A and B are shown apart, each in its own frame.
Chain A
Amino acid sequence: DAGVIQSPRHEVTEMGQEVTLRCKPISGHDYLFWYRQTMMRGLELLIYFNNNVPIDDSGMPEDRFSAKMPNASFSNLKIQPSEPRDSAVYFCASSLGSGSGTDTQYFGPGTRLTVL
């Protein structure tokens, strides 16, 4: 399996622009997670999906952030409008999932976002 695929790997944009980050989970995995990594706050869970349905979006920082999972093979995270403080590495992860908390999450390589 190719693992979790994220695109783009790097994104540089200007403040106010819309940014879309993409993720393809491992085939057969029921759960998909979006995380953000910054020096100040470390790794934070933003939102996760089970069977394409958003389960918990309490980590999404503001209304400027939105995420969708239109099918089992794809999810996107949008920031509109983007701000310099959104600069971070965004990771997507997937897992088989059971609700028991024991399953391993498999991470993509991340998208490094820089907002100027």
Chain B
Amino acid sequence: GDSVTQMEGPVTLSEEACLTINCTYTATGYPSLFWYVQYPGEGLQLLLKATKADDKGSNKGFEATYRKETTSFHLEKGSVQVSDSAVYFCALSAPMYSGGGADGLTFGKGTHLIIQP
């Protein structure tokens, strides 16, 4: 079945440091890939997504590139801020025509990111 693997952390960085959170996946067919962010006490919000190979998703200074050859979708940011402290989830959805579960998301375990001033 489909699966997503990501570093679980916690990951602790100083403000203005560079961030990389690794994410790899296994899936049938050609999935879409997502990064969601969860702030304390809140639901998940979409951070960025990519729907085909070599696409780059970007938002709020975060980027991730869909790498089919390495089945990866690593999240990067050049300079993190204290307000970026949250839990980050990598996820995929595989379309029905390739044997996937339509729009149901398969999530990684989440990476807790802590940014210190």
Whether A43 lies near B89 (C-beta < 8 A) is yes
A residues near B (Cβ < 8 Å) are 4, 31, 33, 35, 42-45, 48, 50, 55-56, 91, 93, 95, 97-110
A101 and B102 CA atoms in complex are apart in Å by: 5
Where chain B touches its partner, the secondary structure class is: loop
Whether B49 lies near A101 (C-beta < 8 A) is no
Whether A105 lies near B105 (C-beta < 8 A) is yes
Sampled A-B contacts (15; CB under 8 Å): A33-B104, A35-B105, A44-B107, A50-B102, A56-B102, A98-B103, A99-B102, A99-B103, A100-B95, A101-B32, A102-B93, A105-B103, A107-B36, A107-B44, A107-B45
Contacts of A45 in B (CB 8 A): 101, 104-106
Would you give the shortest CB distance from B111 to chain A, in whole angstroms? 11
B residues near A (Cβ < 8 Å) are 31-32, 34, 36, 41-46, 49, 51, 89, 93-97, 100-110
Would you give the shortest CB distance from B21 to chain A, in whole angstroms? 15
Which of A55, A101, A106 makes the CB contact (< 8 A) with B31? A101
